[in-house]
Structure 1
Amino acid sequence: MRKPDRLSSQPLYQQIADDIERRISYGEFPPGSLLPSERKLAEQLGVNRSTVILAYAELRSLGIIESRTGSGTRVSKYKWGAMPKHTPNWHRYVEGGSFLPNLPFLRRIREALQKDKALIDFASGELGADLSPVKEINTLLDENHYTGYLGYDNPQGFVPLRETVVSYLKQYRGIQTTESSILITSGSQQSLYLITQCLLTPGDAVAIEDPSYCYSLPMFQSAGLRLFRLPVDSKGIRPEDVRSLYKKHRIKMVFINPNYQNPTGVVLDAKRRTELLDVASELGLPIVEDDPFSLTAYDGTPPTPLKSMDAIGSVLYIGSFSKMAASGLRVGWMVAPHSVVERLADARQQMDFGLSVVPQQVAAQFLKSKYIRPHLERLRTNLLYKRDLLIEALQKELPDLVRFSIPQGGLHLWCRIIPEVNDSKLLEEAIRHGVIFVPGSVYGSDSGYVRFTFARPKPDEIVPGISKFASALRTILG
């Protein structure tokens, strides 16, 4: 709700009452819906509880709300007419549906970040403003005004962008493809969503890494898929585990993030890559390769993608503009057989008639501009600097309480807390101390793991952030 204006001549309680009445009339709070408690609303609005008590009393006198001991304060069901009106049971609808909400931890993180802008953010898996090529993109926008048609574009994606992605993939990732085999998406998650909805059937078994970013995406469960895990060690997944899952559960597809894996930062071993492709070829098993982080390789030598080694078309390759430049443009791509691209483009057209052509044009201009190589070099340098700041802070603050392997690329540091702690208690205590992270159980691991994303916070926030985390952890450990 909107905070009252303390400079206004209208009393604070009256401003609050008017705002609630307006929201009720707009349908934001339907008849019968529960309003915040007096104490909670007072905290949200930054006023005394007595002020909220007066506001609620004003609304009760008008018959707009009703309060009952033990049941809280609700919007009156009978205010808008003499006869009872039947309002849809929105709670039942919200709780229903086949598309599941985000995991509770992720909803809590989002809520905390929205409420407190001062939190030091080790949770958001994206580049901070200091790492994005904002100046370069603004220059390109000034130099290249879009003069084309602003109607619905090709559902497969803006043709100039697909042509540019062909060149980009050949130059930077060693992948040979054509524009007809590329689908432009609004980031990696839409690619995964389209695959789970269009290429798989409820009840199908699929394999994902353990731990895995995929585990944090309810879209897999929403699609009715059965998830089976491939343990990740220091060399990535073991190809023989894929064969074993196929024999036991007839898995239909394998989802992997082989380069600086999210959340562990592990790179799939070169020998295992070859073995994995052999297993996929033998079983006729598709592999979905999600590759958003490879160009962040700190030594400037990205790992070889599976797709560049794929001789028979087993791999669906997913890339993104988000982790290398700007997540706000919402531009990603998928390389797949043309028949798959056509199927997914048709489905995506039913969803949104295709992406906006403007961010696609911006992405195309940047990918073929003189700015991309210097940007990538600067990105790697700055990520390495932030990683080292994070590691030094952890070693100083918590030398005996955390264990981790040092990643050679990517945006994340995966840590094990010793001794094991309760994820929920640690997250809430960290929020109280002014810092936030993602608990490891979000990715399917046991309690006691933490993912720190060091790309989002500014360099001068990293050391204070870890100090706050250390204080929160010590509080939990007593």
Structure 2
Amino acid sequence: MDWKPNRADKKPIYKQIADYIEQGISSGIFPPDRLLPSERALANELQVNRSTVSAAYEWLESLGIVERKKGSGTRVSTDIWGISHKRIPNWGRYVEDGSFLPNLPLVQRIRTETQKNDLINLASGELTPSLFPAEQFKKIFAEQLFTGHLGYDHPQGNEVLRETIASHVREYKNIETSSSSILITSGAQQALYLIVQCLLKPGDAVAIEDPSYCFSLPVFQSAGLRTYFLPVDKHGMNPDDLLSLHKKHRIRMVFLNPEHHNPTGTVLSLERRKKVLELSAEFGIPIIEDDPYSLTTFDGRIHPPLKSMDDAGNILYISSLSKIAASGLRIGWVIGPPKVIQRLADAKQQVDFGHSIFPQWIANEFLASSHFHTHIAMLQKKLEQQRDVLISSLADQLGSQVDFFIPKGGIHLWCKLNRPMNEHHLLEEAMKRGVAFVPGSILGSKKGYVRFTFGREESRFIREGVSRFAEAFKSIQSVPK
């Protein structure tokens, strides 16, 4: 037997052995009319423990591929091909072997639990339905007549909407651009995916903030990228850390969320923004600026995006309507050099043949109307109120047992637990009591933090949610890590 298991592979050895035997059955190396090697013989041949071979055979037996009989050995299942001589695929192995990695199990669990109606959701990064511009959308449907065509649209998205977005970012964010430099995407998430897939290759080094929403995304691992972390303090990430990382690892791309950062709520200082741009220009490092929250600033003051100060074309700017209007609308956009936008548009065409015309039409009418400014003013006021409810509730319920940075915009609050605690255990206890949050370790390398979202629930539910969280916290505060 020439084959040997690869001990450097992350896949368990018993599964490597099971895969080898399964492939051998398919290719005829192990024919159905003969016994498979005994556990002892195969263990000696492969230089592994007998228990490892036994685990491989048990795995194959659970899939119906082999039959095991005490005293008679292990043989290929007599019914492996079925009555019609057709074999059922091993879907479990296909699911495991796919190159696109699944979300972390805990992320999947939180998303499943937050679908329950009786659970208070302080986890999901979206707005509560009462903050959606539902009435404005109704007026658009009632007053405007859809006159667009129903075929495939421009690869970069509807041109009228792209012109409207160009005007929008010029008015609200002082970004000068044109429709040829804009790609409409299915939210910011698709924009990130397209950038990673089209502009980077396996082995490239990228820098992300720590903590960061990007920390939880498997898209970087699926693409085979090496990720390095930029610690975030109360003024955002430190450009000196980026310089240090680049000298060691030749950073190919940087992903930043400068305004009301998710999850910490911090704002990257103007001084640091300028330094990041200087480093980008000096070393030719592209910066991906993710800006979902700048229009939620509670005092109405919008800090200059990196893109508004970008004279060299080093910034790819991502934004969307998901966090300021309706997440289900799935309208996002990327602004960048035309050559890059055309490359991303080509990839998007391969994935979905372009964006649906109806949400683009609604988005255009909404952004171009007076309703938009009115909605943003309401949103800023309501989110500030909900933030204040969360802050006062935490102070009342937990006092000095927690610390937190008070954000001036966005929808998240980053909370430090002042007692050693297993935050996953805390989440389980909290969900038993009917409230969900995001453990900090999902979003960063540090333990002992949690993220609360104050945009997803009404004020009365935020108060009750914090009360339930406090009960869970106090119930396990003495439990060791």
Q: TM-score, normalised by structure 1?
A: 0.82
Contact 1:318-1:334 at 8 Å conserved across structures? yes
**Matched residue of 2:476: which SS?**
helix
**Matched residue of 2:237: which SS?**
coil
| Cα distance in structure 1, aligned partners of 2:374 and 2:255 | 32
| Cα distance in structure 2, aligned partners of 1:450 and 1:438 | 6
Query: Superposed, which structure 2 residues align to 1:278-293 within 5 Å?
Result: 278-293=278-293
| Cα distance in structure 1, aligned partners of 2:280 and 2:222 | 26
Distance 1:268 1:151, change over 3 A: same
Contact 1:159-1:179 at 8 Å conserved across structures? yes
2:351 corresponds to 1:332: no
Distance 1:274 1:80, change over 3 A: closer
Superposed displacement of residue 95, structure 1: 1.0
| Cα distance in structure 2, aligned partners of 1:314 and 1:147 | 37
Alignment-mate amino acid for residue 471 of structure 1? E
Superposed displacement of residue 174, structure 1: 0.4
| Cα distance in structure 2, aligned partners of 1:358 and 1:251 | 39
Superposed displacement of residue 84, structure 1: 6.7
Task: Look up the match of 2:377.
Answer: 377
Contact 1:78-1:85 at 8 Å conserved across structures? no
Percent of aligned positions that are identical: 55
| Cα distance in structure 1, aligned partners of 2:365 and 2:79 | 58
Contact 2:440-2:450 at 8 Å conserved across structures? yes
Q: Deviations over 1:18-73 (max 9, x none)?
A: xxxxxxxxxxxxxxxxxxxxxxxxxxxxxxxxxxxxxxxxxxxxxxxxxxxxxxxx
Contact 2:321-2:327 at 8 Å conserved across structures? yes
Q: Deviations over 1:83-118 (max 9, x none)?
A: 67521000001111110000111111012123x321
**Matched residue of 1:384: which SS?**
helix
| Cα distance in structure 2, aligned partners of 1:282 and 1:471 | 52
Superposed displacement of residue 82, structure 1: 4.5
Q: Deviations over 1:346-393 (max 9, x none)?
A: 000000000101000100100010101111010000000000000000
| Cα distance in structure 1, aligned partners of 2:334 and 2:81 | 52
Task: Look up the match of 1:105.
Answer: 106
Task: Look up the match of 1:197.
Answer: 197
Worse-superposed segment, 415-424 or 378-387: 415-424
**Matched residue of 2:452: which SS?**
strand
Alignment-mate amino acid for residue 414 of structure 2? W
| Cα distance in structure 2, aligned partners of 1:265 and 1:87 | 50
Task: Look up the match of 2:34.
Answer: none
Task: Look up the match of 2:54.
Answer: none
Structure 1 stretches of 4+ with a deviation exceeding 3 A read 77-85
| Cα distance in structure 1, aligned partners of 2:82 and 2:189 | 47
Contact 2:80-2:87 at 8 Å conserved across structures? no
Contact 1:230-1:238 at 8 Å conserved across structures? yes
Contact 2:420-2:477 at 8 Å conserved across structures? no
Superposed displacement of residue 242, structure 1: 1.1
Superposed displacement of residue 446, structure 1: 2.2
2:426 corresponds to 1:426: yes
| Cα distance in structure 2, aligned partners of 1:82 and 1:167 | 66
2:91 corresponds to 1:94: no
**Matched residue of 2:228: which SS?**
strand
Task: Look up the match of 1:404.
Answer: 404
Alignment-mate amino acid for residue 415 of structure 1? C
Task: Look up the match of 1:447.
Answer: 447
Superposed displacement of residue 415, structure 1: 0.2
Query: Superposed, which structure 2 residues align to 1:307-322 within 5 Å?
Result: 307-322=307-322
| Cα distance in structure 2, aligned partners of 1:307 and 1:353 | 28
Q: Which consecutive residues of structure 2, in runs of 5 or more, have no partner in the other structure?
A: 1-77
| Cα distance in structure 1, aligned partners of 2:214 and 2:354 | 24
2:463 corresponds to 1:458: no
Alignment-mate amino acid for residue 172 of structure 1? Y
CA RMSD of aligned residues (A): 1.7
**Matched residue of 1:151: which SS?**
coil
Alignment-mate amino acid for residue 384 of structure 1? E
Task: Look up the match of 2:117.
Answer: 117
Q: Which consecutive residues of structure 1, in runs of 5 or more, have no partner in the other structure?
A: 1-76
**Matched residue of 1:184: which SS?**
strand
| Cα distance in structure 2, aligned partners of 1:302 and 1:148 | 34
Alignment-mate amino acid for residue 232 of structure 1? V
**Matched residue of 1:341: which SS?**
helix
Contact 2:430-2:472 at 8 Å conserved across structures? yes
Query: Superposed, which structure 2 residues align to 1:72-471 within 5 Å?
Result: 82=83, 85-114=86-115, 116-471=116-471
Worse-superposed segment, 389-398 or 133-142: 133-142
Superposed displacement of residue 420, structure 1: 2.4
| Cα distance in structure 2, aligned partners of 1:281 and 1:305 | 16
Contact 2:81-2:87 at 8 Å conserved across structures? no
Superposed displacement of residue 152, structure 1: 0.9
Q: Deviations over 1:181-226 (max 9, x none)?
A: 0000011111100000000011000000010111111001111110
Q: How many aligned residue pairs are there? A: 403
| Cα distance in structure 2, aligned partners of 1:346 and 1:81 | 44
| Cα distance in structure 1, aligned partners of 2:86 and 2:110 | 38
Contact 1:212-1:263 at 8 Å conserved across structures? yes
**Matched residue of 2:370: which SS?**
coil
Superposed displacement of residue 447, structure 1: 2.3
Alignment-mate amino acid for residue 321 of structure 1? L
Contact 2:206-2:226 at 8 Å conserved across structures? yes
Superposed displacement of residue 471, structure 1: 0.1
Distance 1:88 1:272, change over 3 A: same
**Matched residue of 1:400: which SS?**
helix
**Matched residue of 2:233: which SS?**
coil
| Cα distance in structure 2, aligned partners of 1:318 and 1:113 | 27
Alignment-mate amino acid for residue 247 of structure 2? K
